[in-house]
A and B are shown apart, each in its own frame.
Chain A
Amino acid sequence: MTLKDIRDMLLEVTPNSFHQEAWQQTDEYIVWAEDSEADAVHTDNQKQVQILDVTVDVFTKNEYPEIIDKLQRKFNEKKIPWQLLSIQYEEDTKYTHYEYLIQAEWVM
């Protein structure tokens, strides 16, 4: 799954999905960003496959949020490896922050 595929997948979960930074904060939104190389395959002194770590952060003011069910189902449906890294509640803003780690392929 490429970065563009991830963008499209997240937009199916909510149109309030943003790359790198949320430029419009609603009561429920997603921010995603690639941050480092997770793995790579080299042949003939060239990088052939590059796997990137991508974080997907969901911010929601809803309790027992449906968006989480929807997102996790989507991860499974698309068969991408995913891990819920943390869940944090922000007392000042009342957002609950779900932090996921998934992986994308960079096509050479």
Chain B
Amino acid sequence: MGDVMARLEIIGTEELEIKLSKLADPELMKDIVMAGAQPVADEIRKSLERNLQGSKYSHGDLLKSLGIAPPDIDRNGNANTKIGFHGYDRKGVPNAIKARVMESGSSKQKKRPFVRPAVRRSRKKSIEAMQKKLDEKVENIMKG
């Protein structure tokens, strides 16, 4: 009996390679991180609004200063963003310090944590939002 030899030829790998390389696009990772940051920022905003409700001292400066920083890619290739408080209030006090004192308290002010509990509450929503965005992106890329 003679030898039987099988031959397998894979075609279209270049196209697949191009599609897979698009999945490693840093811009895609940034979009996913931003999708995850939004529910966290929304929950922090809700908590802060609750804390400020009925306050006769609040002018809304702290609430307005809450924002999400533009995402970037760190040296390890991970996409990151930050949720925080920028600028100063109308009396010249840094909003970040006001937020810190509200969160942690001081010897002169009772603490009213609003960031940590909000981050915990929104964790699941954030992960789901990132997964949804990733699925959308993968589907679009694979469709070509």
Binding site for B on A (CB under 8 A): 20-22, 25, 31, 33, 35-36, 38, 53, 55, 57, 59, 85-86, 88, 90, 93, 95, 97, 99, 101
Contact = CB atoms under 8 A, between A and B. Distances in A.
Interface in B69-103: 100
B113 A57 contact: no
Nearest to B105: A57
Contact of B104 (A38, A86, A93): A86
A30 to B, nearest CB: 12
Interface in B112-144: 113, 116-117, 120-121
- 5 tightest A-B contacts by CB? A36-B117, A95-B107, A59-B107, A93-B107, A35-B113
Contact of A97 (B104, B110, B116): B104
B56 interface: no
A55 B114 CA distance: 13
Interface of B: 100, 104-108, 110-111, 113, 116-117, 120-121
Contact of A53 (B100, B106, B110, B117): B117
A74 to B, nearest CB: 21
Contacts of B116: 36, 53, 85, 101
A93 B105 contact: no
B32 to A, nearest CB: 27
A22 B109 CA distance: 10
A105 B111 CA distance: 21
B44 to A, nearest CB: 13
A88 B104 contact: yes
22 contacts: A22-B107, A33-B111, A35-B113, A36-B113, A36-B116, A36-B117, A36-B120, A53-B116, A53-B117, A55-B113, A57-B104, A59-B107, A85-B104, A85-B116, A88-B100, A88-B104, A90-B106, A90-B107, A93-B106, A95-B106, A97-B106, A99-B104
